[in-house]
Amino acid sequence: MSTETAVKIDAKLVKELREKSGAPMGDCLKALQEAKGDMEGAFVVLRKRGMASAAKKASRTTNEGAVGTYIHAGGKIGVLLELNCESDFVARTEDFQELLRDIAMHIAATDPRFVTRDEVPQSELDREKDVFLAQPAMKGKPEAVVSKILEGKMSKFYEETCLVDQPFIKEATQTISQLIASKVAKLGENISVRRFARFKVGANDWTVAQTKIAAEEPAA
């Protein structure tokens, strides 16, 4: 889609769609761009991706779910993943189990370091920003330009390190967040990644990530 079309999307339309659907602002903007500014068309786009209904269920508690594994061919990489939902019934459905396998496989392939952006330490974000701002190419540029480029750089950083921001390896046109949202729309329950661990043979360390909620819970 052309940049010109994107520029013509009024911020008021994005806000209106956000209030109507409950979907994140970024997804509302993309939906409006895809629908060429048509509100109803954009809402349909969000519904197809599961974003509209998923956002309304996002605050519901997920205390059920399942733990799944994925072992890469040859047994060199293994992933242990806890995926949560609202009921044991949904946890046992084929759709939920398929999602569990797909996300575990994705983690094995991409090695994300965090579940969501909320888990990234502020110190690490500050370091990334400092490294970028210190680059010679940024010297002398207007503050507004630097801010815009920095925003893009940080989005790329999140895409590389945060599971839910990553493009799904089996369907790069949707993120893991959108993949989960599509299952939420189909199954009618909130679904969330709680934690995962990734191990690789011969590596000196391993990746362990969990949401803030899981981190704050006392050990059993």
pLDDT per position as a tens digit, 175-206: 999 899 888 888 888 899 999 999 999 888 88
Q: Residue 50 above 70 pLDDT?
A: no
Do 84 and 185 belong together in one domain?
Answer: yes
Q: Is 77 a residue whose pLDDT tops 90?
A: yes
- Domain count along the chain: 3
Same domain, 38 and 135: no
Q: What is the DSSP letter of 163?
A: G
Mean pLDDT to the nearest integer, 151-161: 91
Determine, yes or no, domain membership for 84: yes
- Alpha-carbon span 53 to 90, nearest angstrom: 17
The mean per-residue pLDDT over the stretch 32-57 comes to 75
Domain containing 135 equals 121-159
In a domain, 57, yes or no: no
Burial class (CB in 10 A: 0-12, 13-18, 19+), 218: exposed
Q: At what angle do helices 176-187 and 94-110 cross, to 10 degrees?
A: 170
For residue 59, tell me if it sits in a domain: no
Task: Output the domain CATH number for residue 80.
Answer: 3.30.479.20
